Structure 1
Amino acid sequence: MTKAGKTSTDIHMVLDIIDVLQASTRYDEFIVFSADADFTPVLRKLRREDRRTTIFAAGATSASYDASADLIVDLDAFIHDALGFDDEEAARETPNLESLLAQAEGLVWETVDNADQPVPLPGLTKILATRIPALPATEWAGKGTFFALLKSLPLDPLRIDREENTLLDPRRLNGHANGTTAARVVMPSGSPNKSDPRQAAQVADQLSRLIADEVAESNRPIAVARLAQLARAEFPGIEVTWLGHGSWKKLLESLRPPHVKIVWQQLAGWALDPDRHTLDLAAAGTVAHVSAADSARAAKVSRLLEAVDLPLLEPAKYRAQLEALSMALDDQPYVLTNVTKSMRDHCQRLGQPVSREQCLRLLRTLVYDGFNPEADPHGFEDLVAMTCGVIVSACDREGVPVDDADRFELLQWMTDQEAEAVE
């Protein structure tokens, strides 16, 4: 140990992991007790060797480090569930696992459809964990690991390339070896396209009936990305031009399936029968009911929040949480569980319901980045400044570019104000 208290423990841990990895006994899971992002290459090597990885970090971690692990042990869950120090009231509400699986399926398809090359699995892990925060909190919807979740979803014909550690659609992408850009498959002769308007109209009519039948037979809303999968399976090659519309979303908007309504929530689409289905995905805590303009704002802010691993909550929910945190620190001595309970209850009274887990996540982010709840100023404006500063610092650390317009947008989001043009 040096005078500064530094040791070579991390090097010894890495050497031990490599030794165990090469041992005659196969170990299926490695648990790393560290928040040090230097372990990121080790986690990725373990993933390439088809081993599960778990990290337990009592401190702030980087986005790339989190994305490289299959499971992140939540500190609060460890304190309550492993050590047995629990409140009389459960700290987290029981999420709807079926809803989480449906959201995960839709988001995976959306990510693959929007990508022009195979999707790296670490990046996909991060996308799911950030856009659907309840997934890692529920051990990937009860599946245990990200890979187990991925394999449980109906993603045929998508396949995992373990050599490249990516997820790809073999019908659109191939030859992504040695860093070359994947090439799109040429549409087979006779496939529907815009060059034959009569054929395209016939396919559109058949596709409308297919969507109507699927919705009629389903007892819940269907992810739009799932319908895209069915369209590709029924009409091979349709995805090359999407009947001349250029994207599945534009094609879908041109169709009018009977008794089907397309609802865009949480930055994803869902097909439902308004007379039989309801769409309640609020448990995941992400943005819902957004207009096109709000969706553009959300996309900008989401990029910043991802760097600090905070969910994309609606502006009113972030404002309510920060107001609630300010009031809670005024009213009582700082105890983590008591403060997060007060935050959640205050938000519910304001008509901006959030989960205890979301309150805990915001407060821990601030504390890990230097906020002292017992000594630092904690007025609403102080907390807004602290939160925005933490997010911008995380963006700088993660290499996410931030300009003045981004800072202004983030400030408006956290204070629930309408964004205006920046001079």
Structure 2
Amino acid sequence: MSASGGGQQSALRVRSALFVDFENIHMGLQRLDAAAANRFAVNPQCWLSWLETLAYPALGATDFRRDLLIRYCYLNPVSSARYRAYFTRAGFHVVDCPPLTAAGKNSADIHIVIDVLDILGHPTRFDEVILLSADADYTPVMLRLRAHDRRTVIITSGPSARAFRAACDHVVGEDAFIDDALTLEPRVTHQAGNGAHLAGAPALGQAGGAATADLSLDGTDTARASEPVACGELSPDGVASRSGRLTELPARSLSDDPATNDALPLRRAAAGAPTSPEPPDSTAPAAMAAPGNAVAPATGPGPAVAPPFPAPPSTQDNRLRHAIAEQVRELVTVSERPITLASAAQLVRAQLGPEITEGWAGTGSFKKLLALVDLPGIAISAAPEYLYDPARHTLPAGSQPGGAGQGDPAAPHAELIARISQVTDIPRLSSHEFGALFEELAAEVTAHGFNRTGTSRAVRDRCLERGEHIGRGAVNFVLNGLLYAGRPPQPGDDAQALASSFADNAVLLCQNARMELSGDEVSHLHAWITGNPALVVEVAVAAAPGLVSRAGA
């Protein structure tokens, strides 16, 4: 990328095309948060302002200007006509997609695919395609866009298939979309602790797709609340801090820049190659993206995309690994008890930021990174996996010691839990932590009723007060699972009943992900989540009515 006159680096111009599958997003939001669904439908300018400033690792820049040159919204004129005018006033071209079948199925997906493919031959070379939908049917078109060297971003409001997420450069999940773009509550911004940001590694913000932890290293909130953010406005502590926009400088384009033209593909940034002669303190770390052409999705954990011949870690990777190791060492040092591996990863991410920990310095996972760094005096137990200091900490009952920096792969239930978590994204909490979560959820809903956003924060805080470091992302996953199962928490609910409902939904997630479980494995899955003794149960062949898959199509 070249600099413009006077030696000043200009802002990067990103030419974007936006496609909105209205019914898919709106119906998904209604299941999770009716107020957020209404804000999405009646005030698109609210989330458009957030979208224009959305940064992500594969973009390869912190100073940019996103121009939404195409804005298409596809909606059903029979059921959603009342929302048409709001999108028209926001500069959208609204495409009517009336129902074509008795069941109400419309042709929005076909219209979107045709229009997306049309832009590949458009006189304007679009750098980026942004799609608002959780429909896995769009996976082939995302792969086609990747083959044509276009960046892709999806924003979902519900279950999305792992294959769909893996086909895109960046994923904004329902939690991040609701919290960052559709909330009217005070924004929470974390103050950086010691080593929170590396020298030479900018913080691109918290707008990724994965839910991030809201905890400090010592387990206390270090957040400060700013003024409430009105839709359509930019908050210095919220959206604007993520933009890095330099509108007073001439804009550079991803397409026009000689460093990102056809001779040097756009995804050099995702592969870790330098994209500009900027000084080290203004370039995004190469380790923020998984190696290769595919950027690891941000909506949840998943397998790393590794190159055929792994290269030795770069200097930047080594710096990141050292910084993460220091955070882990401090975390274990100040903790009075063992910490689950999942909680430790969330706490580290909260301190360093999701962009710094994206891809875990080229290793693909937090656990793999721990195996590569020097952490004397710190061990990882067998499943459920805990980080602990053998000299100071006593492992919980049922957990057995493991070697330094590694768990016990021979533990059969640990292997089962690892497989289930990898396929379905279910948080790898211990049975004790699941128990605490459901107990506090039942107590919170009985005391104050259920509101997804407020309840998730309150349950996170309640768990923290009793000494359980359970990130808000894990709480949101459980709440979403209950909502998808048609079993929203209600006052008077019993913790065991909630746990059982979530466990039933977890079984369905495995079934919909084509993960075959034996009766014994299903019983151990229930025991893991509910904390009850494992009892062999029959595996239902068909999905239980009313349950909706978290893993998507």
Distance 1:352 1:266, change over 3 A: farther
Distance 1:34 1:409, change over 3 A: same
Q: Matched residues in 2 for 1:37 and 1:401: separation?
A: 21
Distance 1:404 1:40, change over 3 A: same
Q: Cα offset for 1:265?
A: 7.8
Mapped pair 1:50 → 2:149: yes
Residues 72-116 of structure 1 show CA distances to partners (whole Å, capped at 9, x for unaligned) of 2233433343245123x62x8679898999xxxxxxxxxxxxxxx
Q: Count residues with an aligned counterpart.
A: 295
Q: Cα offset for 1:16?
A: 0.4
What residue in structure 2 maps to residue 402 of structure 1? 517
Q: Matched residues in 2 for 1:42 and 1:409: separation?
A: 39
Greater fraction of residues in helix:
1
Q: Cα offset for 1:421?
A: 10
What residue in structure 2 maps to residue 369 of structure 1? 485
What residue in structure 1 maps to residue 459 of structure 2? 343
What residue in structure 2 maps to residue 412 of structure 1? 527
| Aligned 8 A contact 2:456 2:475 in 1 | yes
What residue in structure 2 maps to residue 160 of structure 1? 292
Amino acid corresponding to residue 519 of structure 2 in structure 1: D
What residue in structure 2 maps to residue 326 of structure 1? 442
Mapped pair 1:303 → 2:419: yes
Corresponding residue SS for 2:184: coil
What residue in structure 2 maps to residue 392 of structure 1? 507
| Aligned 8 A contact 1:71 1:146 in 2 | no
Q: Matched residues in 2 for 1:371 and 1:273: separation?
A: 43
| Aligned 8 A contact 2:211 2:473 in 1 | no
Question: Equivalences for 1:275-294 in 2 at 5 Å?
Answer: 288=387, 291=402, 292-293=407-408
Residues 7-54 of structure 1 show CA distances to partners (whole Å, capped at 9, x for unaligned) of 011000000000012223221211111121111111122222222222
Question: Equivalences for 1:8-407 in 2 at 5 Å?
Answer: 8-87=107-186, 90=188, 134=212, 148=269, 151=272, 152-153=285-286, 160=292, 167-170=306-309, 221=325, 266=367, 268-272=370-374, 274=376, 288=387, 291=402, 292-293=407-408, 296=411, 297-374=413-490, 378-407=493-522
Residues 128-187 of structure 1 show CA distances to partners (whole Å, capped at 9, x for unaligned) of x99x9649xxxxxx99999856524469xx97378xx96423379xxxxxxxxxxxxxxx
Distance 1:333 1:403, change over 3 A: same
Distance 1:323 1:14, change over 3 A: same
| Aligned 8 A contact 1:55 1:72 in 2 | yes
| Aligned 8 A contact 1:159 1:170 in 2 | no
RMSD (CA atoms): 4.7
| Aligned 8 A contact 1:143 1:149 in 2 | no
Q: Cα offset for 1:393?
A: 0.8
Corresponding residue SS for 1:168: coil
| Aligned 8 A contact 1:288 1:314 in 2 | no
Q: Matched residues in 1 for 2:212 and 2:194: separation?
A: 9
Q: Cα offset for 1:399?
A: 1.0
What residue in structure 1 maps to residue 544 of structure 2? none
| Aligned 8 A contact 1:60 1:369 in 2 | no
Amino acid corresponding to residue 373 of structure 2 in structure 1: A
| Aligned 8 A contact 2:271 2:292 in 1 | no
Corresponding residue SS for 1:160: coil
Distance 1:302 1:160, change over 3 A: same
Unaligned runs of 5+ in 1: 102-128, 136-141, 173-213, 224-263
Moved more, 288-297 or 328-337: 288-297
Distance 1:300 1:335, change over 3 A: same
Q: Matched residues in 1 for 2:456 and 2:141: separation?
A: 35
| Aligned 8 A contact 2:151 2:169 in 1 | yes
Corresponding residue SS for 1:6: coil
Amino acid corresponding to residue 415 of structure 1 in structure 2: T
Q: Matched residues in 2 for 1:315 and 1:49: separation?
A: 46
Distance 1:61 1:33, change over 3 A: same
What residue in structure 2 maps to residue 5 of structure 1? 104
| Aligned 8 A contact 2:423 2:513 in 1 | yes
| Aligned 8 A contact 1:287 1:313 in 2 | no
Amino acid corresponding to residue 18 of structure 1 in structure 2: L
Distance 1:338 1:220, change over 3 A: closer
Q: Matched residues in 1 for 2:196 and 2:519: separation?
A: 37
What TM-score, normalized by structure 2, do the two folds share?
Answer: 0.44
Distance 1:84 1:384, change over 3 A: closer
What residue in structure 1 maps to residue 342 of structure 2? none
Distance 1:66 1:154, change over 3 A: closer
Amino acid corresponding to residue 391 of structure 1 in structure 2: A
Amino acid corresponding to residue 454 of structure 2 in structure 1: N
Q: Cα offset for 1:348?
A: 1.1
Distance 1:143 1:46, change over 3 A: farther
Q: Matched residues in 2 for 1:399 and 1:16: separation?
A: 32
What TM-score, normalized by structure 1, do the two folds share?
Answer: 0.57
| Aligned 8 A contact 1:222 1:270 in 2 | no
Q: Matched residues in 2 for 1:401 and 1:97: separation?
A: 45
Distance 1:65 1:8, change over 3 A: same
Q: Matched residues in 2 for 1:46 and 1:298: separation?
A: 38
Distance 1:410 1:51, change over 3 A: same
